[in-house]
Amino acid sequence: MVWGRVDITSLWALRCQGCLALAMPGKEWCRRCFEHLPVNHSACPRCAHPLPATSSSCGGCMKQPLPMDHVFSPFLYDEDIAWLIVRFKHHADFRAGHNLFRLLEGHLYKVSDADSPALLPVPSHVSRCRERGFDPVWWLAQRVARRLAWPLLEAHKRRATPRQQQLTRAGRVKNQRQVFEVPDMTGKTVWLFDDVMTTGTTLGSLAQACRARGACRVNALTLARTPASHESASMAASPRRTP
């Protein structure tokens, strides 16, 4: 964005988003903070759960696979990533949103798909969007779809549901049952999109709705993944840094 002779975006980049030290040229981070971001280096290809080394499916997927064929989450829901997500979603901090997209953008080359897929963001109920003043997942998904040159599809949430973070795993499943209305997807490959995947209940419910409407392959892309052992921390929505 250019204002007069000054590129405003370059002004944002002067200070590191993490520690306020000088950022690397053209980046939102200093080298130290960037190298300490919680990257999900090796993960289960079915559910993106972090694993010690990239291998076949994790134990959880061996026992009870999720309805998605493949999930890719480049970051873990921890430290600066969790802090940025909370800033963006709950405080409408669009600098944090811009930064999250820039981080995700750096990993989108790993999401190539020869099947001409479409991107389907997890919808929020209109009451939740009004409460926040915007839809953070849709905001990010628009930029991801543009960057990948994929069509963006729209689903609807039939009813408002309690926040997933406040529920047990069984409660999450009940909460999301038949809650999504999706367009016809006959023969399509679709990538679902969300900011964070915790148990995968929401994405699983949307994946089932897509399959019921004819999708032949359903993958998912999320910015961050909450490791299973961190689920209770995520439910309290309390990253270690205080926003």
Binding residues for Zn ion (CB under 5 A): 16, 18-19, 21, 30, 33, 44, 46-47, 49, 58, 61
Between 16 and 122, name the residue whose CB sits nearer to Zn ion: 16
DSSP state of 125: P
Between 60 and 183, name the residue whose CB sits nearer to Zn ion: 60
Phi-psi region at 161: left, alpha or beta (left = phi > 0; alpha = psi -120 to 50): beta
Task: Compute the least distance from the CB of residue 65 to Zn ion, in Å.
Answer: 7
Between 28 and 135, name the residue whose CB sits nearer to Zn ion: 28
Between 45 and 136, name the residue whose CB sits nearer to Zn ion: 45
Which tokens in the block code for residue 82? 């969790």
Task: Compute the least distance from the CB of residue 90 to Zn ion, in Å.
Answer: 23
Q: For 2, phi and psi rounded to 5 degrees?
A: -110, 130
Mark 53-88 as b/e (b = at least 16 C-beta within 10 Å): eeeeebebbeeeebbbebbbbbbbbbbbbbbbbbbb
Task: Compute the least distance from the CB of residue 42 to Zn ion, in Å.
Answer: 12
Task: Compute the least distance from the CB of residue 30 to Zn ion, in Å.
Answer: 3
Between 23 and 118, name the residue whose CB sits nearer to Zn ion: 23
Task: Compute the least distance from the CB of residue 49 to Zn ion, in Å.
Answer: 5
Which tokens in the block code for residue 173? 């499943």
Which tokens in the block code for residue 101? 């997209």
